[in-house]
């Protein structure tokens, strides 16, 4: 009988602890002023979301086709993660990752 009592007591204290943590989260989130957001907002164009991933030939970073900075080079459309990578590619001053 004492074994069952210990299990019930353990479950009771786990519930009390989880409810306390939940209550503290609500209190802390209520302290944040309504004008400020807890997470930064990233503005993404609605047409920028696509399922096709492309690879930046300079740094090798994968990104969606809509978010990349396009450049047409010898009839081929190449996407870059930033203007710095595009400028390095155009300048040809660095070895590039294999396009894949």
pLDDT for the residue 100: 47
Task: Say whether both 17 and 52 belong to one domain.
Answer: no
67 vs 44: CA distance, rounded Å: 8
> What radius of gyration, in Å, describes the C-alpha atoms of the chain?
26
The answer to whether position 41 is within a domain reads no
pLDDT for the residue 13: 96
Residue 20: is its pLDDT beyond 70?
yes
Q: Which domain covers residue 17, as residue numbers?
A: 1-32
The answer to whether position 85 is within a domain reads yes
pLDDT for the residue 36: 56
pLDDT for the residue 12: 96
Residue-wise pLDDT tens digits, 47-100: 555 578 889 988 989 888 888 888 888 888 898 999 899 888 888 744 554 554
Residue 8: is its pLDDT beyond 90?
yes
50 close to 65: Cβ distance less than 8 angstroms: yes
Cβ atoms < 10 Å from Cβ of 58:
20
Task: Say whether both 25 and 56 belong to one domain.
Answer: no
Task: Say what the pTM is.
Answer: 0.45
């Amino acid at each position: 009988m004492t074994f069952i009592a210990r299990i019930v007591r353990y479950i009771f204290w786990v519930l009390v602890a989880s409810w306390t943590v939940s209550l503290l989260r609500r209190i802390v989130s209520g302290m944040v002023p309504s004008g400020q957001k807890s997470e930064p907002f990233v503005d993404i164009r609605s047409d920028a979301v696509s399922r096709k991933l492309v690879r930046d030939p300079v740094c090798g970073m994968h990104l969606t086709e809509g978010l990349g900075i396009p450049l047409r080079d010898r009839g081929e459309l190449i996407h870059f993660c930033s203007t710095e990578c595009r400028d390095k590619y155009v300048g040809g001053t660095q070895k590039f990752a294999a396009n894949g």
